[in-house]
Every structure is written in C-alpha cells, then in structure tokens.
Structure 1
C-alpha cells in the first residue's frame, strides 16, 4: 500500500498525478523549484477538482479543500525523504533528469520506487543514474491524468519483478490499469504517436492540407476523438520536438527527423494549448496562466 507519494515537477503532468493520488486518499508531496509555480499548481488543482465535481453528478464528490489538504507543496527535495513511491515529471531533457536522479537517490528511502514519467528517454539509462536500478521503471501517464484509465509501464533492463508489482499496486490504488512494455526509446505509444504527429506536420508544411482538415480526416474517417495536430497542441509542441529529437538520436533513423515547421513553431513560442496557440488557437487561455504553465513544464531546465 502506497501511503505517501512524491511528485517532482508541478507542470501539467505533475499536477495531474498529484490530483489523482490525492483524490484516492494518498498523501502527496509535490515538488518544484519556485513558490509561484506551486501556488499556480495549487490553484489549478482546486479548479480541476471543482470542475470534476460539477461534471460528475452521479456520486458525492469530496470537497476540493479536503483533497488539497492531502497535498504538501515544497521547493526542497528533502521533503521527499518520507515518500513511499516517487513519480518524476521534469523536463524531457536528458541533462536535466541526469542531474536530478543522484539527488533523489541520496534523499529518498532505500525501498522507494522511482517512476520516470517520460515520453521517450531510456528507463535503463535513467536507472544507471542511481544506486537502485532495480527500483527504477517507466510510468508514462497520459494527459489529462485523472481521466485516463490506462498507464504505459516500462520495465527496464534492471527493473525487478517486485518493482513492477509495486507499480501495479500503486496504479490500482489510483483506479488505473498498467500495461507493461519493454524499454526501447518511445516505448509503444510515443514510438508510434510521434511518427504520426510528425508526418501530419509535414503534410501541413507541404501544403497538402490544412491542420483543420488533417484532424477532420482522422476524426471522421478513423473515429479518433482528437486529431493528431490537436493532440500535439495538447501535449505541447515543445515536448513533441524534444521527444522526436530523443528518438532520432536513439535510433539514428531519419524517419524520426522532426519536421522543419515543427521546430520553427517551437522557436516562435507556439507550443499549443499552454501558450494559447499552436496548430490551433485557444483564445480562452489567459496569457498569464499560459506563461505559468510553460514555466512549470520547463522549470527543471533552470537548475
């Protein structure tokens, strides 16, 4: 039984994991490097809980205040000394994660499992940055975390079967199901999804079609709830680019070469929903909130 969960990184994914765990009765320690980011995370978790309560009239929802009381917000990694299980959600930059894991290794309890929430980075490599590679695994949550019933769990070269069972138990507590896959860059979901998104960007770049019509084809012809370009906006075009760069480097395969249009959009600050514009515009997103989201998602890069 996981009683206290550590979550490192208060961006979109970190907030979602913290909220989902607190809703299931776990204590949560949510870490980021700036108080203003944690304040924004607190506000957005409360708003998400209130919205969820309004939408789900089928059952009595626990008041948002009571759920949030189970979340401790901290800027000091030492607050993680008491956690039973840890989910890391910092930037998809290898150098950032590599500098973080030795610190976590020295602070957390020896039996604490480290779950790397990554789109493409090798879990075996992440385990090598610690003295507990048998207790390191990948845990690829999907956005929005509280609403997605499945989680891709990645077993690295040294990950023990006991660690996998602990991860499954944790996800069961969250009301989610684990699908266990082996460790290769991109795993299953992003090895396929990033190619689809990237090719959709090439289609727009080559003026074969508009972003709107590309997504209409996927929704209308294939029954997808969301087209590849709207999905990219939801994930964040910067995250898509980071993931493709990792896949390109890992496989040395030109099929993962990012579309020049994608890189241009990221350079222009068009990240998708969190910036208010990507392949589509999101006019209801206030720029101040967008800036906080971007800062939260990339904050670890400032260490």
Structure 2
C-alpha cells in the first residue's frame, strides 16, 4: 500500500531535497519550517533543482505539478493526518528534541517518524516519543533527488514492521537502502566525518592546499568529490555539529574537531549553502575558487 501523505520537517538543504524527491514520486508533502521566508526560499530552491534535473539528467517531471504537491507551512498541526514524517532539522539536540515532542502529540499513533540525522542516536529520538517502535533513522545523501542509496538505522526499539514499511517507502521514492544498527555516526558518517576532519587538519598544517587535497582523492581513489568539496556540500556547520556528537559519544580523541573547522564556522564560512567554505561559490565569482582559510 503506497504511503500518500508525508510530513517533511526542516526546509534546509536536506529537507528541500527530500520534499522535492517525494513530490516527484507522487507523494503529497507538507514541508514545515519556522518562518515564511525560509519556506519561500525552499520553493525557489526546489524550482531550481527541478530545472537542473530537466537540463542535465532524465526528465524530472512537470515543475508546476510537482510544486503543487508540496504544502509549505509553519503549522505543525497540518501533520495530523501524516502517514510518515521525515525530520531534517539542524544537528542540535535541543531543537530536535522539541520537534519530536510536538509531532508525537499531533500525529496519529500509526505515523512513523524517520530521523534524517548525521550522527545522533536513533534510540535517543525514540525515547522522546510514545511510539519508540515506530522511530527509525533514515540517513539520506545530498543531493537527495539523485542519490540512489539511503542508510536506514534500526534503533533499540524499532520494530521489524517499521523497518519493512520504511524500506517500502524508500522504494516508492526510487531508493535502495541498507539497514544498520544504531551507533553514533552509523556507518557512513562515522567514517566520512573522520576523513573530512583529518583533511582539514592536513590543510591547517600546510601539508597540501585545498585543491591539492581534493585532486588527490579524485585522482588516486576515483572519488567524484574530494573531502573538502564534500564538506562544503554538506555544510561546515553540519560537519562541526556531527564531529562534536561523535567526540562526545565515544569520548575518543580521534574525533576532536580541527581548530580550523571551528574557526571557519565561527567566521560564517559554511560552504555551498551560503556561498563560501573551502571554495567560493558566490555568483560574482567567475569560477569556483579556493578561499583563504589559514
């Protein structure tokens, strides 16, 4: 049975991608965020994303029809009929915790909650609801509409039925999935965050430049993007939040955030999302340029 009504919380990069993908696959979506300004920007970004897909890849579908399937709102109460909710809020526990308290009161008991998180324990989310068996981790990759694989995370209480429903839901979105057990960072980010953090240490130490580090990974390992390009795509603030969660969770010095990463986040260099990270993505730049970060 196809899931029809889906709530998507958070209209940042990941939430926008999830909402777009769902609308493209025929789902009715309610996209929730805290302000109309954020939601207006999300609508512009989705329209832009659809145009890019139509231009570079297979047809994304009719833009007007796809956008008509998304209800942009600040009202959580509109989730009272949602069959599935995907939460994509920023990686800060106090913000996420408050969201789960809200949706647990509003959504029907049968509604499944999927946490699209980089590192926070799924079992911790479940403990803040009255439906721990219906809480699952659903770690999408960016950009969501064109990435075929999703990391599914089974929390301590997640039921087999929830796993099966989540897998079917992802199939409806055109995704494959692999189920892993709950642990901070799961599989992908536990490895990726270490790689990115270490690459930033290498940059800080002056061993190689931004472009040299990325070219080595692409040329030697066949990666489509180097670790610093990947950091810009994810968002340096998200990288920092995630590595801090790993550091706190494992109490292991190998997850100590690089001071240069902290400095860049403090300076507002968050990557693609605001135009400057390890590279300059501003519209005034004729080509992507590395940014002085030392």
Q: TM-score range by the shorter chain?
A: over 0.9
| Aligned 1:148-159 pairs, distance under 5 A | 148-159=147-158
CA contact (8 A) 1:276 1:285 kept: no
Q: Find the counterpart in structure 2 of residue 30 from structure 1.
A: 31
Q: Find the counterpart in structure 2 of residue 86 from structure 1.
A: 85
Q: Find the counterpart in structure 2 of residue 269 from structure 1.
A: 268
| Aligned 1:248-263 pairs, distance under 5 A | 248-263=247-262
Q: Find the counterpart in structure 1 of residue 20 from structure 2.
A: 19
1:102 aligns to 2:97 (yes or no): no
Structure 1 residue 51: Cα displacement: 2.0
**Uncovered stretches (5+) of structure 2, i.e. residues with no partner:** 286-294
TM-score w.r.t. the length of structure 1 is 0.92
Structure 1 residue 29: Cα displacement: 0.5
Q: Find the counterpart in structure 1 of residue 160 from structure 2.
A: 161
Q: Distance in 1 between matches of 2:15 and 2:282?
A: 24
Structure 1 residue 49: Cα displacement: 1.0
Q: Distance in 2 between matches of 1:235 and 1:11?
A: 11
- Comparing both chains, which one has the higher relative contact order based on Cα–Cα distances under 8 Å and sequence gaps of 6 or more? 1
Structure 1 residue 285: Cα displacement: 7.5
Q: Distance in 1 between matches of 2:63 and 2:160?
A: 36
Q: Find the counterpart in structure 2 of residue 180 from structure 1.
A: 179
Structure 1 residue 243: Cα displacement: 0.2
TM-score w.r.t. the length of structure 2 is 0.95
Q: Distance in 1 between matches of 2:62 and 2:84?
A: 25
Structure 1 residue 36: Cα displacement: 1.1
Q: Find the counterpart in structure 2 of residue 213 from structure 1.
A: 212
| Aligned 1:1-303 pairs, distance under 5 A | 1-56=2-57, 61-284=60-283
Structure 1 residue 55: Cα displacement: 2.3
CA contact (8 A) 2:8 2:18 kept: yes
Structure 1 residue 245: Cα displacement: 0.5
| Aligned CA-pair RMSD | 1.1
Q: How many residues align?
A: 284
SS of equivalent to 2:280 = coil
Structure 1 residue 272: Cα displacement: 0.9
Structure 1 residue 54: Cα displacement: 2.2
Q: Find the counterpart in structure 2 of residue 293 from structure 1.
A: none
CA contact (8 A) 2:133 2:159 kept: yes
Q: Find the counterpart in structure 2 of residue 300 from structure 1.
A: none
Q: Distance in 2 between matches of 1:246 and 1:51?
A: 34
Question: What per-residue deviation string (whole Å, max 9, x for no partner) do you get for residues 241-280 of structure 1?
Answer: 0001000000000000000000000000011111211111
CA contact (8 A) 2:13 2:273 kept: no
